[in-house]
Chain A
Amino acid sequence: MEFDLHRPYQLNPAVALRPEPFGALAYHFGNRRLSFLKTPRLVTVVRLLESQASAAAALNAAGVSARERARYAAALAALAHSEVIDAR
């Protein structure tokens, strides 16, 4: 499924998200892939997904600026592609 900013998402239950000084590491226990989230704000977005009505709403709730929106959307799309987050 294509990533869609207007859909609701969540952190994949098979993924362990570990905070780091730079952001976080996300390890998918199923496919053994390790992803590197490079900003603390991106980690905030990912943690907010579950409680927000859409990915776009999570971006807003995390305080992503208009200028940064495209970058964060691209990051979420990459995370969806790696199955770190999935549509709920």
Chain B
Amino acid sequence: MLAEAAGPGTLTERFKRGLAAPICLTWELTYACNLQCVHCLSSSGRRDPRELSTAECMRVVDELERMQVFYANVGGGEPTLRPDFWDLLDYSVAHHVGVKFSTNGVRLDRRAAQRLARADYVDVQISIDGATADVNDAIRGAGSFAMARRAMEALAEAGFGEFTISIVVTRHNVSQLDEFKRIADSCGARLRVTRLRPSGRGADSWAELHPTAAQQRRLYRWLSERPDVLTGDSFFHLSALGAPLPGLNLCGAGRVVCLIDPVGDVYACPFVLHEQFRAGNVREPGGFTRLWRESELLLRLREPAAAGACASCGQYDACQGGCMAAKFFTGLPLDGPDPECVLGHGERALAAVCLPDRPPPGPGHSRGPVFLGQIAARAAT
């Protein structure tokens, strides 16, 4: 007779306990960036002098290969600004680590697009935050929309095939969702729609940029009708509104995902670049492998989390208390509601937060103060 045992349980339960290697590893290659997006979660701009060298990056790829990480999500800052970007791309693929990289398009000219079209196991994602230049450039800077569109055209001309267009949903672009879809369809690209987190420079503008409750409901309905639109599991906090959206619907921090930053620091959550969620540095003995398997922080995150203040809410199973990063940087307790809780519990909790108690995002690598640009008046949403 079999004893009662704490079995692996459902798929979700199995993921929560931890995996042999991350599935979705985010790797910020550099803090250097040609843009200064208002909401940049990595507060990028200036290259950090302690950046991993080419050789050190290749050692990381070697580790990822040994751990059988299937692919790395590469970004920055702007990853193509690293002079060794192409060498690292080739090295990764040669070592069985696929690459999906995200870019603002600055170096994606015809030659780059042709090189990418010849490469296997490399996916490209281009970021915009508006379907029109006025909405986009208010967040990403003058000329950034045109630059992104040129990169999309370069990929199309080179016969690259399907790439991804990724947007961060804000109060000002929710009304443009259909236009985003049209742009993606016309390019033969997939559309990816992700959540604004109050991280990095986003901490300053989150209050005015994050979608309203009504906009969230509208977004949820729009996504529900379009299962082909990717979300990167961004909106699992909206699952309390009805049927869950496609995706894991859970916080993967330290369990399924983690981040390696340009100087080799490993963080449990790519949206919380904060000492409290830093597992260590890949330059330490044992490298990334030891951190993933043994760091105290990541092991702690794999333990079952308490529902805390959400325990009595009937929706907790659906929303899992929402996004850790959203709670952390708005000063909310991690075992309580998400600031954008669809039942309004987060709003009430926010009202009780003292602003000085919010964790500061850290000095970051911004090149200077950044301000939200003017957005031309649009029809009421």
Residues of B bordering A, CB below 8 Å: 8, 11, 14, 17, 19-21, 23, 68, 70-71, 96, 98, 121, 123
Q: In residues 1-47 of chain A, which contact B (Cβ within 8 Å)? A: 16, 18-22, 25, 27, 29, 32, 34, 36, 38
Query: Which residue from chain B places its CB closest to the CB of A20 in the assembled complex?
Result: B20
A38→B96 CA distance, assembly (Å): 24
Interchain CB contact under 8 A, A22 and B96 = no
Which single member of B21, B98, B123 contacts A18 (CB below 8 Å)?
Answer: B21
Given contacts A29-B121, A36-B11, contact A19 B70 (CB under 8 A): no
User: Nearest Cβ distance between residue A87 and chain B, in whole angstroms?
Assistant: 24
Q: Which of B68, B70, B96, B121 has the most CB of A within 10 A?
A: B70
Residues of A bordering B, CB below 8 Å: 16, 18-22, 25, 27, 29, 32, 34, 36, 38
User: Nearest Cβ distance between residue A52 and chain B, in whole angstroms?
Assistant: 24
Interchain CB contact under 8 A, A18 and B20 = yes
Interchain CB contact under 8 A, A25 and B121 = no
Given contacts A27-B70, A29-B121, contact A19 B20 (CB under 8 A): yes
Chain B residues lying within 8 Å of A19, measured Cβ to Cβ, are 20
13 A/B residue pairs, CB under 8 Å, sorted by A: A18-B21, A18-B68, A18-B70, A20-B19, A21-B17, A22-B8, A25-B19, A27-B70, A29-B70, A32-B123, A38-B8, A38-B11, A38-B14
A29→B121 CA distance, assembly (Å): 7
Interchain CB contact under 8 A, B11 and A16 = no
Chain B residues lying within 8 Å of A22, measured Cβ to Cβ, are 8, 14
Chain A residues lying within 8 Å of B121, measured Cβ to Cβ, are 29
Chain B residues lying within 8 Å of A16, measured Cβ to Cβ, are 68, 70, 96
Interchain CB contact under 8 A, A34 and B20 = no
Query: Which residue from chain B places its CB closest to the CB of A26 in the assembled complex?
Result: B70
Chain A residues lying within 8 Å of B14, measured Cβ to Cβ, are 20-22, 36, 38
A38→B10 CA distance, assembly (Å): 10
User: Nearest Cβ distance between residue A31 and chain B, in whole angstroms?
Assistant: 12
Query: Which residue from chain A places its CB closest to the CB of B24 in the assembled complex?
Result: A34
Interchain CB contact under 8 A, B17 and A34 = no
Q: A29-B70, A38-B11 are in contact. List 10 more A-B contacts (CB 8 A).
A: A16-B68, A16-B70, A18-B70, A21-B14, A21-B17, A21-B20, A22-B8, A27-B70, A34-B23, A36-B14
- What 4 A-B pairs are tightest by C-beta distance, nearest first? A27-B70, A18-B68, A22-B8, A22-B14
User: Nearest Cβ distance between residue A80 and chain B, in whole angstroms?
Assistant: 21
A16→B70 CA distance, assembly (Å): 8
Query: Which residue from chain B places its CB closest to the CB of A28 in the assembled complex?
Result: B70
Query: Which residue from chain B places its CB closest to the CB of A19 in the assembled complex?
Result: B20
A36→B8 CA distance, assembly (Å): 13
Chain B residues lying within 8 Å of A38, measured Cβ to Cβ, are 8, 11, 14
Interchain CB contact under 8 A, B98 and A29 = yes
User: Nearest Cβ distance between residue A18 and chain B, in whole angstroms?
Assistant: 4
User: Nearest Cβ distance between residue B369 and chain A, in whole angstroms?
Assistant: 40
Chain A residues lying within 8 Å of B19, measured Cβ to Cβ, are 20, 25
User: Nearest Cβ distance between residue A74 and chain B, in whole angstroms?
Assistant: 17
Query: Which residue from chain A places its CB closest to the CB of B68 in the assembled complex?
Result: A18
User: Nearest Cβ distance between residue B234 and chain A, in whole angstroms?
Assistant: 18
Chain B residues lying within 8 Å of A27, measured Cβ to Cβ, are 70-71
User: Nearest Cβ distance between residue A83 and chain B, in whole angstroms?
Assistant: 16
Chain A residues lying within 8 Å of B98, measured Cβ to Cβ, are 29
Chain A residues lying within 8 Å of B23, measured Cβ to Cβ, are 25, 34
User: Nearest Cβ distance between residue B18 and chain A, in whole angstroms?
Assistant: 8
Chain A residues lying within 8 Å of B21, measured Cβ to Cβ, are 18
A21→B9 CA distance, assembly (Å): 12
A4→B14 CA distance, assembly (Å): 30
Query: Which residue from chain A places its CB closest to the CB of B19 in the assembled complex?
Result: A20
Interchain CB contact under 8 A, B70 and A34 = yes
User: Nearest Cβ distance between residue A42 and chain B, in whole angstroms?
Assistant: 13
User: Nearest Cβ distance between residue B164 and chain A, in whole angstroms?
Assistant: 11
Chain B residues lying within 8 Å of A18, measured Cβ to Cβ, are 20-21, 68, 70
Chain B residues lying within 8 Å of A36, measured Cβ to Cβ, are 11, 14
Query: Which residue from chain A places its CB closest to the CB of B17 in the assembled complex?
Result: A21
Chain B residues lying within 8 Å of A25, measured Cβ to Cβ, are 19, 23, 70
Chain A residues lying within 8 Å of B123, measured Cβ to Cβ, are 32
